[in-house]
């Protein structure tokens, strides 16, 4: 009687469901995989295939190859050397092979009795005792060979392969896969959906594996085309829905008296050409009764804040309120500091002010600020998520600006829109229809640009403005890769910067899951640097775990140059602006994502001084840095252009992840790959409007099939 094995042979279900609860346990697991509707099963594609269609001669199999043979058992015994195992010898007439099983059922032992003829499938290995297969799959010989490759599905959630195969097969059979493309609209060469799915689950054995793996097979093309079309349709629908909405018209105020022109005149610099162009694009949007839905993308340091401030001024000129929301308190505080400096003197003359809202502020202060928001005295409201708190009532919000928009979820974006004028009612707002629910204009900002062509074509429901020019007078940042064992040289470099009166950032990575451990690491680094640099140098520490007031205090000290070196975890990633800082050291740079590295690097090079970024990397025990980590570091060393970085990031990570959770709150594409499928994207873009106009029923079915419950999400 074999002992219960930890990892029984693959052909047996991993966990036999308890009697009575069987179906629901499996269903629960399927649910975990997101498999609910028949179409979900049909779209659950194999991660690879096994070829069980052919029997080969052992003598023709090379060592290391997967092979399926039929052979007679010539020896079969359970031995203990030292572990209990079943050792079987089989002979197919051309050669012999030893089969070894450490875990096996009694039924298998029986199946592999001497004289039995069996079908065996596994990897054939060479060895000094002859050829071997470890834990091959065994079946009775002589049964009919399948005509197609056998799918292997990824099985998380404790589901066994046979269960998944069965469920997918029946889901695919049940799924209604009628054509949703209008006649003649399919992309050239693409298959019909049922054939495509049947093929991808059960490919003919003569298929070119490469075309399945790189997804270039026509069956794959059909899936990708359909998915991209669903994306385009749903975004176009959203855009059209928005076109039916009304927003407050924020036209230009009479020249001379406007906040906009006063702000322009008060700025300590002239706008770059790109800022002017983007400003004009926004001005045009705001002057229309349609809600603006614009993404402003620009590299770190390209000057998005002033563009936002000018948009806010337009809004205030028209007698409305503007909200600016940022994902972190530090970033919001920086915006506040800057915008108060620019705007408060000008607003004061008008009896208006800038309000500050954050979760950490004292109740009394918050109540005061909220009152100013409600009365309309706060023409501009800056803050964190606190801005969208239920307790905050805007009198006449008309423009919502969201910085680092990808860090906010859809719900939060919607909540901000819900604060619009008319929702909370301003009877004398002069908007024509008080209470009718005007939409605010929405300006989203991002410093992690996606490549422009991609952005234009992908975000069908978004207008994209791009700041593709840095303000003048910036000196390029020199980026150096330095191995961890040369850390001492970095200290020298820091000293050199300090001697010139410059300041330095030192960023520690998130190493452990636990913030406490990160804090300890960062603290040690701070102590180490304080030691090495001597008493006269102020070394500060900034960590996400610190109380907000303390963070604020440290940030202020660094801004005022009372601290010369700032050791921090990635809390400084976004937005921080201290032009006197000229050196950025990133420890364990190999652990950071590419856009994150670029963001961090963008904290320096903001003044006229020559700046540098040192990427300290630590090879692993094997003395190596992983392939993708190396590609990231190389990209950093080679270019400082955010768009080029974005392009490389796309190449390294693939758009699945690129447009996935980080960018948009949920992965958007399962099948298509925007780095290779631009032709299909063009096809989808071209077809979508026509299809919505002429075949709205098909369009609705198509979107439902491909996006299901996600469609709701995309509408936001």
Return the C-alpha torsion angle 445, 447, 450, 452, nearest 10.
70
* DSSP states along 336-390: HHHHHHHHHHHHHTTT-EEEEE-TTS-HHHHHHHHHHHHHT-EEEEEESGGGG-T
Question: Residues near 90 by Cβ (< 8 Å), separated by ≥ 6?
Answer: 69, 71, 72, 73, 74, 96, 97, 99, 118, 120
Q: Measured from the CB atom, is 90 or 323 closer to ligand ADP?
A: 323
Which residue is at the shortest CB distance from ligand ADP?
303
Q: Judged by CB under 6 A, which stretch of 96-104, 133-141, 201-209, 295-303 contacts ligand ADP? A: 295-303
Residue in 304, 395, 603, 705 binding ligand ADP, rule: CB under 6 A: 304
Residue in 292, 300, 347, 421 binding ligand ADP, rule: CB under 6 A: 300
708 binds ligand ADP (CB under 6 A): no
Q: Which does 463 bind (CB under 5 to 8 A by kind): ligand ADP, Mg ion, none?
A: none
298 binds ligand ADP (CB under 6 A): yes
* DSSP states along 105-118: -HHHHHHT-TT-EE
| Of 189, 195, 198, 194, residue with least CA distance to 216 | 189
275 binds ligand ADP (CB under 6 A): yes
136 binds ligand ADP (CB under 6 A): no
- The contact set with Mg ion (CB under 5 A) reads 575
186 binds ligand ADP (CB under 6 A): no
Residue 145 and residue 666 in contact, taking contact as beta carbons nearer than 8 Å: no
Helix (H) or strand (E) holding 401: strand 397-402
297 binds ligand ADP (CB under 6 A): no
The total of other beta-carbon atoms located within 10 Å of residue 548's CB is 15
Q: Measured from the CB atom, is 89 or 328 closer to Mg ion?
A: 328
Q: Which does 275 bind (CB under 5 to 8 A by kind): ligand ADP, Mg ion, none?
A: ligand ADP
CA 416 to chain centre: 22
577 binds ligand ADP (CB under 6 A): yes
On the 0-12 / 13-18 / 19+ scale of CB atoms within 10 A, 131 is: middle
Q: Which does 271 bind (CB under 5 to 8 A by kind): Mg ion, ligand ADP, none?
A: ligand ADP
271 binds ligand ADP (CB under 6 A): yes
Q: Minimum distance between the CB of residue 306 and ligand ADP, rounded to whole angstroms?
A: 5
Q: Judged by CB under 6 A, which stretch of 180-188, 303-311, 581-589, 708-716 contacts ligand ADP? A: 303-311
Residue 683 and residue 662 in contact, taking contact as beta carbons nearer than 8 Å: no
Look at the chain and count its residues: 716
CA 15 to chain centre: 34
Q: Minimum distance between the CB of residue 271 and ligand ADP, rounded to whole angstroms?
A: 5
Q: Minimum distance between the CB of residue 502 and ligand ADP, rounded to whole angstroms?
A: 16
Q: Measured from the CB atom, is 76 or 297 closer to ligand ADP?
A: 297
Tokens of 280: 């004009």
Q: Minimum distance between the CB of residue 560 and ligand ADP, rounded to whole angstroms?
A: 16
Q: How far is CA 500 from CA 11, 491, 493, 562, 563, in A?
A: 70, 15, 11, 15, 15
Q: Which does 448 bind (CB under 5 to 8 A by kind): Mg ion, ligand ADP, none?
A: none
Q: Measured from the CB atom, is 115 or 268 closer to ligand ADP?
A: 268
447 binds ligand ADP (CB under 6 A): yes
Tokens of 87: 């050792």
Q: Which of residues 306-335 bind ligand ADP (CB under 6 A)?
A: 306
Residue in 122, 248, 291, 303 binding ligand ADP, rule: CB under 6 A: 303
Tokens of 60: 């023709």
> Which string of x and - marks every residue 606-635 that binds ligand ADP (by CB under 6 A)?
x-----------------------------
102 binds ligand ADP (CB under 6 A): no
Q: Which does 654 bind (CB under 5 to 8 A by kind): Mg ion, ligand ADP, none?
A: none
Which residue is at the shortest CB distance from Mg ion?
575
Residue in 302, 321, 466, 497 binding ligand ADP, rule: CB under 6 A: 302
Cα gap 681→180, rounded to integer Å: 17
599 binds ligand ADP (CB under 6 A): no
Crossing angle for the helix pair 696-707 and 678-694, to the nearest 10 degrees: 130
| Of 675, 694, 716, 698, residue with least CA distance to 229 | 698
Cα gap 122→642, rounded to integer Å: 48
Chain contacts with ligand ADP (rule: CB under 6 A) = 269, 271-272, 275, 298, 300-306, 447, 471, 577, 579, 606
């Amino acid at each position: 009687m074999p002992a219960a094995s930890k990892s029984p042979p693959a052909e047996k279900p991993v966990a036999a469901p308890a009697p009575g609860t069987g179906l629901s346990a499996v269903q629960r697991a399927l649910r975990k995989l997101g498999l609910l509707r028949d179409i979900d099963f049909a779209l659950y594609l194999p991660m690879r295939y096994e070829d069980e269609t052919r029997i080969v001669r052992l003598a023709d199999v090379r060592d290391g190859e997967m092979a399926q043979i039929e052979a007679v058992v010539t020896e079969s015994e359970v031995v203990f050397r030292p572990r209990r195992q079943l050792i079987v010898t089989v002979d197919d007439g051309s050669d012999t092979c030893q089969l070894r099983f450490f875990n096996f059922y009694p039924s298998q032992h029986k199946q592999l009795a001497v004289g039995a003829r069996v079908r065996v499938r596994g990897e054939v290995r060479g060895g000094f005792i002859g050829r071997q297969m470890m834990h091959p799959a065994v079946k009775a010989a002589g049964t009919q060979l399948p005509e197609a490759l056998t799918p292997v599905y990824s099985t998380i959630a404790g589901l066994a392969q046979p269960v998944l195969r069965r469920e997918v097969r029946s889901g695919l059979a049940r799924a209604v896969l009628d054509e949703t493309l209008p006649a003649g609209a399919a992309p050239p060469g693409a298959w019909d959906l049922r054939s495509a799915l049947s093929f991808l689950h059960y490919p003919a054995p003569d298929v070119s594996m490469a075309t399945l793996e790189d997804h270039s097979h026509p069956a794959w093309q059909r899936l990708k085309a359909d998915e991209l079309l669903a994306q385009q349709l749903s975004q176009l629908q959203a855009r059209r829905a928005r076109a039916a909405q009304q927003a407050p018209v924020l036209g230009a105020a009479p020249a001379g008296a406007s906040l906009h022109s006063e702000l322009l005149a008060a700025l300590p610099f002239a706008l770059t050409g790109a800022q002017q162009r983007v400003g004009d694009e926004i001005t045009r949007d705001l002057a229309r009764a349609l809600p603006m839905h614009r993404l402003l993308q620009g590299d770190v340091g390209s000057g998005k804040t002033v563009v936002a401030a000018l948009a806010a001024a337009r809004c205030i000129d028209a007698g409305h309120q503007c909200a600016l929301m940022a994902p972190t308190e530090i970033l919001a505080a920086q915006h506040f500091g800057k915008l108060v400096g620019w705007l408060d003197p000008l607003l004061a003359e008008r009896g208006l002010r800038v309000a500050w809202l954050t979760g950490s502020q004292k109740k009394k202060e918050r109540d005061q600020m909220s009152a100013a928001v409600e009365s309309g005295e706060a023409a501009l409201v800056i803050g964190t998520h606190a801005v969208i708190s239920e307790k905050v009532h805007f009198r006449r919000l008309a423009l919502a600006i969201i910085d680092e928009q990808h860090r906010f979820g859809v719900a939060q974006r919607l909540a901000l829109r819900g604060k619009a004028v008319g929702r909370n009612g301003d009877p004398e707002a002069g908007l024509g229809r008080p209470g009718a629910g005007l939409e605010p204009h929405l300006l989203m900002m991002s410093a992690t640009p996606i490549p422009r062509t991609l952005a234009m074509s992908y975000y069908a429901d978004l207008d994209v403005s791009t700041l593709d020019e840095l303000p003048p007078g910036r000196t390029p940042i020199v980026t150096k890769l330095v191995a961890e064992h040369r850390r001492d040289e970095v200290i020298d470099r820091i000293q050199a910067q300090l001697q010139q009166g410059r300041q330095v950032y030192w960023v520690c990575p998130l190493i452990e899951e636990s913030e406490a451990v990160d804090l300890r690491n960062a603290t040690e680094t701070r102590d180490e640097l304080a030691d090495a640099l001597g008493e006269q140098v102020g070394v500060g520490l900034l960590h996400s775990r610190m109380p907000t007031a303390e963070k604020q205090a440290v940030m202020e000290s660094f801004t005022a140059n009372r601290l010369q070196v700032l050791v921090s975890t990635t809390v400084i990633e976004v937005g921080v602006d201290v032009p006197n800082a000229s050196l950025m050291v990133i420890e364990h740079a190999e652990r950071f994502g590419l856009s994150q590295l670029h963001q961090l690097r963008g904290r320096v090079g903001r003044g006229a001084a020559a700046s540098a970024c040192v990427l300290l990397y630590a090879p692993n025990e094997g003395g190596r840095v992983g392939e993708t980590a190396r590609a990231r570091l190389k990209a950093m060393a080679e270019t400082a252009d955010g768009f080029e970085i974005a392009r490389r990031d796309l190449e390294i990570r693939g758009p699945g992840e690129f447009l996935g959770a980080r960018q948009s709150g949920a992965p958007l594409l399962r099948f298509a790959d925007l780095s290779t499928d631009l032709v299909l994207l063009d096809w989808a873009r071209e077809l979508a409007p026509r299809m919505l106009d002429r075949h709205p029923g098909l369009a609705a079915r198509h979107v439902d099939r491909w996006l299901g419950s996600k469609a709701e999400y995309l509408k936001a």
